[in-house]
Amino acid sequence: IDLPGTEFAQLIGEEQPKLPNSSSSSFFRSFHFLRRRGKGVVFGAPLTEEGIAQIYQLIEYLHKNLHVEGLFRIPGNSVRQQSLREALNSGMEMDLECGEFHPNDVATMLKAFLGELPEPLLSHRHYNAHLKIADLMVFDALGNKTSVADKERQIEALQLLFLLLPSATRNLLKLLLDLLYHTAKQQLSNKMSAHNLALMFAPHILWPRNVSIGNALMLYSCHSTLTR
């Protein structure tokens, strides 16, 4: 991928990322504020291995309930979700098999956790690189760029970007993509295809605040390929 000097510097961490159509200074102020919050808080806090350990309880439970129709699409019960949120934030080890919670409650809280991270899971630093990946197309025999997505190069480029992520982020991403992959494999029962899952999760994984419609469509296309 061809990144201008400034965008490459952001990618490797030499410069702070410039967020599209939003105030980067306000973003980093909120990030430092969240770092000072009490230990044990999972939702809205910077990603840690301890936080992932709490969220893994949700992922493990969802793996056992992939057959549920509309998983990740149909919202659960708000009262039960608040109870689940409080339990996770307290560091409590949950018994999700007790029947108190529905799979839709758990799926909704997983999406909420991702959506409330101080920055997208795939990092604002990588935003411009992901836009370039979405634009990777196949070339014809004459060397002309076609309108056909080069899925092999897109996946290779995404895998390289993943290696640049912090270990905690990479670990959670691996768990999440594995869950989405197995969810899509059960689409005959849960009615959630790779297309539907990409639509549900792309905003929580990468999209910055106030992303443009055009860029959102490009990113959606790229992440749909990744989920497949």
- Asked if 46 and 34 count as a contact pair (C-beta separation under 8 A), the reply is yes
Residues in the chain, overall count: 228
What's the first-to-final CA gap in the chain, in angstroms?
Answer: 22
CATH for 175: 1.10.555.10
Q: Report the pLDDT averaged over residues 200-209.
A: 76
Between 10 and 136, the higher pLDDT residue = 136
What is the phi-psi region of residue 44: left when phi exceeds 0, alpha when psi lies from -120 to 50, beta otherwise?
Answer: left
Residue 178 pLDDT more than 50? yes
Q: Give per-residue burial for 44-67: e unless 16+ CB within 10 Å, then b.
A: ebebeeebbebbebbbebbeebbe
Single-letter code of the amino acid located at 64? K
**Strand, helix or coil for residue 205:** helix
Residue 12 pLDDT more than 80? no
* Dist. CA 202–CA 115, nearest whole Å: 10
- pLDDT band of residue 143 (cuts 50, 70, 90) is confident
User: Model confidence over 79-106: pLDDT tens digits?
Assistant: 999 999 999 999 888 899 999 999 999 9
- pLDDT band of residue 218 (cuts 50, 70, 90) is low
CA 213 to chain centre: 18
User: Model confidence over 179-204: pLDDT tens digits?
Assistant: 999 999 999 999 999 989 988 888 88
Residue 17 pLDDT more than 60? no
Query: Domain residues for 74?
Result: 5-227
* Dist. CA 97–CA 71, nearest whole Å: 17
